[in-house]
């Protein structure tokens, strides 16, 4: 059942993420045959304006926190990350009570931290914006934080990644609780894709890390400038003036992965740039990025990005006339 929706606000709320929840659940679309929701914006002090992250913009919640425990869905938009005891403890307690009463809790972006402060992430799988996943994992070590996905559905807890991923999570919940027709109708009105699977990857840039070892740092920079060439670990170790064993150990310590995996990721990132900014055929992109064949590029691109190269170009490519 998904009838009553309560959005809980904190000081310095993020307007886009708040707007996502309002757009999906707060607009009356019953004239189009779409479901209506009893939508309520709640805060610890109803009638008192709350500042947003947008200068000069405030939002005044009409309802108090007592509405949360009667809601089917409690939505938590993004707000600045603070240590647990710096959240308004009245809000934390109300979110916890609503979950215990049977409400589904949905977070957008950094809203996951408030859910964690309420104890809702313990022993659960979750996600947040890719910039904050390490912080979330460190703050709540009993949670399993997935750094890649758009959203995670854990039944009565749905956590989503940054910004627009909140749209995907909200539409997913509508589809799950009410059906595809309702989700598709809302998506059509919003002019957004009706369904992006939660397992689709967040689009994350991974720049060359700052390394403590100068020779390793220079080797990584050289690698990114020579992706089209074939490389072996032995050759890279020699370039860094290290033994193969020492190079592999220091590489893992500095980057958190193996030389082969790191190189593959850099090649995929370069292929993304070429797909976005050029009209080069896929085989040419495969050559320039070091994969050698379109088939191998498609394999690694799909695995890392979550969609095929041609679909990525369709979504993110710059038309020739705009370049």
Q: pLDDT (tens digit, 0 to 9) for every residue of the chain, 323 residues total?
A: 799 999 999 989 999 999 999 999 999 999 999 999 999 999 999 999 999 999 999 999 999 999 999 999 999 999 999 887 889 999 999 999 999 999 999 999 999 999 999 999 999 999 999 889 999 999 999 999 998 889 999 999 999 998 789 999 999 999 999 998 899 899 888 988 766 665 656 665 555 555 666 778 888 889 888 999 999 999 999 999 999 999 999 888 888 789 999 999 899 989 988 998 899 999 999 999 999 999 999 999 998 888 899 998 888 776 655 55
DSSP 132: G
Show the tokens assigned to 213. Answer: 């070892």
For the entire predicted model, the pTM comes to 0.70
CA dihedral 160, 103, 45, 122 (to 10 degrees): -60
pLDDT at 214: 72
Long-range contacts at 296-305 (CB < 8 A, ≥ 24 apart): 297/271, 300/264, 300/267, 300/268, 301/268, 301/271, 301/272, 304/201, 304/264, 304/265, 304/268, 305/201, 305/203, 305/268, 305/272
Tell me what percent of the chain is helix, strand and coil, each rounded to the nearest 5: 50, 10, 40
Q: H or E stretch including 5?
A: strand 4-8
Question: In CATH, what number does 214-322 get?
Answer: 1.10.10.60
CA–CA distance, 313 with 294 (Å, rounded to integer): 14
Class of domain 4-190: alpha beta
CA–CA distance, 177 with 17 (Å, rounded to integer): 21
pLDDT at 201: 64
Q: CATH 1.10.10.60 residue ranges in the chain? A: 214-322
**Strand 151-153 relative to strand 157-160: parallel, antiparallel, unpaired?**
antiparallel
Show the tokens assigned to 153. Answer: 């559905």
Other residues' Cβ atoms within 10 Å of the Cβ of residue 201: 17
DSSP 89: H
What are residue 13's DSSP bridge partners?
Answer: 52
Q: CATH 3.40.50.880 residue ranges in the chain? A: 4-190
Residue 72 vs residues 20, 39, 69, 105, 220: alpha-carbon distances, Å? 18, 11, 8, 9, 51
CA–CA distance, 99 with 157 (Å, rounded to integer): 9
What are residue 157's DSSP bridge partners?
Answer: 105
Other residues' Cβ atoms within 10 Å of the Cβ of residue 102: 11
Give yes or no for a contact between 95 and 118, defined as CB atoms under 8 angstroms apart. yes
């Amino acid at each position: 059942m998904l009838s009553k929706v309560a959005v809980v606000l904190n000081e310095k709320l993020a307007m886009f993420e708040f707007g996502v929840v309002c757009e999906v659940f707060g607009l009356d679309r019953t004239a189009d045959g779409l479901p209506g929701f009893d939508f309520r914006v709640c805060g610890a002090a109803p009638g008192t304006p709350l500042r947003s992250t947008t200068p000069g913009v405030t939002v005044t919640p009409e309802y108090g926190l007592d509405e949360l425990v009667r809601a089917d869905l409690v939505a938590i938009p993004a707000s600045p990350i603070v240590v647990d005891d710096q959240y308004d403890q009245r809000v934390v307690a109300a979110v916890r009570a609503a979950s215990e009463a049977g409400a589904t809790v949905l977070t957008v972006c950094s809203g996951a931290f408030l859910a964690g402060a309420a104890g809702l992430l313990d022993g659960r799988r979750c996600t947040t914006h890719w910039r904050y996943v390490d912080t979330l994992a460190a703050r709540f070590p009993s949670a399993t934080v997935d750094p890649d996905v758009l959203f995670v559905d854990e039944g009565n807890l749905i956590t989503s990644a940054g910004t627009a991923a909140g749209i995907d999570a909200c539409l997913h919940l509508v589809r799950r609780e009410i059906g595809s027709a309702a989700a598709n109708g809302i998506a059509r009105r919003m002019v957004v894709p009706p369904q992006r699977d939660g397992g689709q990857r967040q689009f994350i840039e991974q720049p060359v890390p700052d390394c403590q070892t100068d020779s390793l740092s220079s080797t990584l920079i050289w690698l990114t400038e020579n992706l089209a060439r074939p490389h072996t670990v032995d050759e890279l170790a020699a370039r860094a003036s290290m033994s193969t064993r020492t190079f592999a150990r220091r590489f893992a310590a500095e980057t958190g992965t193996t030389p082969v995996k790191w190189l593959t990721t850099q090649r995929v990132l370069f292929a993304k740039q070429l797909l976005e900014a050029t009209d080069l055929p896929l085989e040419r992109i495969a050559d320039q990025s070091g994969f050698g064949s379109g088939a191998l590029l498609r394999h690694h691109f799909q695995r890392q990005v979550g969609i095929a190269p041609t679909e990525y170009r369709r979504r993110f490519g710059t038309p020739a006339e705009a370049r």
